[in-house]
Amino acid sequence: MTGPRFTDLVASLPATVPFVGPETQERARGRPFRARLGANESLFGPSPRAVAAMQEAAREAWKYGDSTSHDLRAALAADLGVAPGNVMVGEGIDGLLGYLVRMLVAPGDPVVTSAGAYPTFNYHVAGFGGALHLVPFAGDHEDPDGLIARAREVGAKLVYLSNPNNPMGSWHPAARVQAMVEAVPEGTLMVLDEAYIEFAPTGTAPPIDPDDPRVIRLRTFSKAHGLAGARVGYAIGAAPLIAGFDKVRNHFGMCRISQAGALASLGDPAWLAEVGAQVAAARDRIGAIARANGLVALPSATNFVTVDCGGDGALARAVLAGLAERDVFVRMPGVAPLDRCIRISAGPEDQLDVLAEALPGALAAAR
């Protein structure tokens, strides 16, 4: 009997995924983590209004969700001051990235991103046969000038920038991002991932014209809105590009429960402000824990703090392993020199108390 007849492209890909989830790790360990501080989820939870809306929507889970996400798209458009035709809703930023790459990247097409930036984007590019070109970080920041220069050099179809950045928590001011948009080469689309924009200082997001054909922005309900498990993201871009998603997307991929939760959360700005305040306090606490252990917490415009362990990747991996042994789940960047760090999600005091208890022992063991 023959097995599955994979395409040559799929057969050539490694059998790996960008992230190993904490649940997978817990099953392998045979016990749960005491502190879940690695996935950049909002440990402060979703808006109570969103929870109530999802509970009500669950009564109608026998129905498919609205295939156009009409109400949510209209509400997002009104909130953003754009037309509904400039907005597309999808299964988180990850799902939208997959559709975007499918639309625009054919086998062999060049795509530019930063070495060490969000790996799921790379996963999609590889899955559709694109040719990745990686640009080093400049210090702990992505390098807009370097990205544009490489995009121009290789004739890139896409050039990706996350602002604020994952995994370092760094950010560029609006003027720097706008300058990158202005410099995008002819035939290249800039993918601006703003997953963490709600946590960033005022003046981080540039006022880009939604009909500018050079850039598409991606945002999410997974972070500040606390709906990571609901999988709701959205894209903002020129109407012809947004319309192109309808050619490739899963039209019933957005369940009605998720749509209802996101719509209710969008209507609760007070909750969003409260989460922002709690995240800011948690970042301060993580910084204090790091300093108490002789480590350096990097400035962050996200809901996590990247902590420099003061050595190389081997030391940081040992610290990561030591924390896991002490039942604390965190993650770390995967590319040198960023991998000298570990990355810790903001969380409530009880979770950070566990981190404070576990970190000294993990460091001692690693050293």
CATH number at residue 281: 3.90.1150.10
Main-chain phi, psi angles of 25, to 5 degrees: -65, -40
Does the structure show a pLDDT above 90 at 208? no
The predicted structure's pLDDT at residue 140: 96
pLDDT over threshold 80, residue 16? no
Sign of the alpha-carbon torsion through 162, 47, 18, 125 = negative
**Does residue 289 share a domain with residue 202?**
no
pLDDT score of 3: 84
- Are both 222 and 285 inside the same structural domain? no
How many angstroms separate the CA atoms of 118 and 137, rounded? Answer: 13
Helix (H) or strand (E) holding 161: strand 158-162
pLDDT at res. 19:
80
Q: Is residue 2 part of a domain?
A: no
Q: How many domains does the chain have?
A: 2
Q: Which of 226, 245, 267 is the last residue of a domain?
A: 267
Q: Using N-to-C axis directions, what is the helix angle for 70-80 and 256-266, rounded to 10°?
A: 20
Please check whether residues 349 and 200 belong to one and the same domain.
Answer: no
pLDDT at 87 over 90: yes
Residue 10 lies in a domain: no
Query: Domain limits at 235?
Result: 48-267
C-alpha span between 357 and 325 (Å, rounded): 13
Percent of the chain whose predicted confidence (pLDDT) is above 90: 93
CA 86 – CA 76 distance, rounded (Å): 10
Residue in 315, 255, 261 with CA at minimum distance from that of residue 75: 261
Asked which of 214, 239, 267 is the last residue of a domain, the reply is 267
Q: Are residues 278 and 233 in the same domain?
A: no
Q: What is the layout of strands, in order, in the sheet containing 341-345?
A: 296-297, 304-308, 341-345
Work out the average pLDDT over 92-114.
Answer: 98
* Domain membership flag for residue 294: yes
- The C-alpha atoms of residue 117 and residue 181 are separated, in whole angstroms, by 19
pLDDT band for 15, please (50, 70, 90 cuts).
confident
Q: Average pLDDT of 280-298?
A: 98
pLDDT of 14 higher than 80:
yes
Q: How confident is the model at residue 17 (pLDDT cuts 50, 70, 90)?
A: confident
103 inside domain: yes
Tell me whether residue 164 is in a domain.
yes
Per-residue pLDDT reduced to its tens digit, 57-84: 999 999 999 999 999 999 999 999 999 9
Read off the CATH number of the domain in which 116 is found: 3.40.640.10
CA 234 to chain centroid: 12
Whether residues 85 and 230 share a domain: the answer is yes
CA–CA gap between residue 158 and residue 160 (Å, rounded):
6
Average predicted confidence (pLDDT) for the chain:
96
Say how far apart CA 4 and CA 9 lie, in whole Å: 14
- Give tens-digit pLDDT for 27-62: 999 999 999 999 999 999 999 999 999 999 999 999
Q: Note whether 87 and 174 are same-domain residues.
A: yes
Q: Which of 245, 267, 289 is the last residue of a domain?
A: 267
- Give the whole-angstrom CA distance, residue 231 versus residue 264: 15
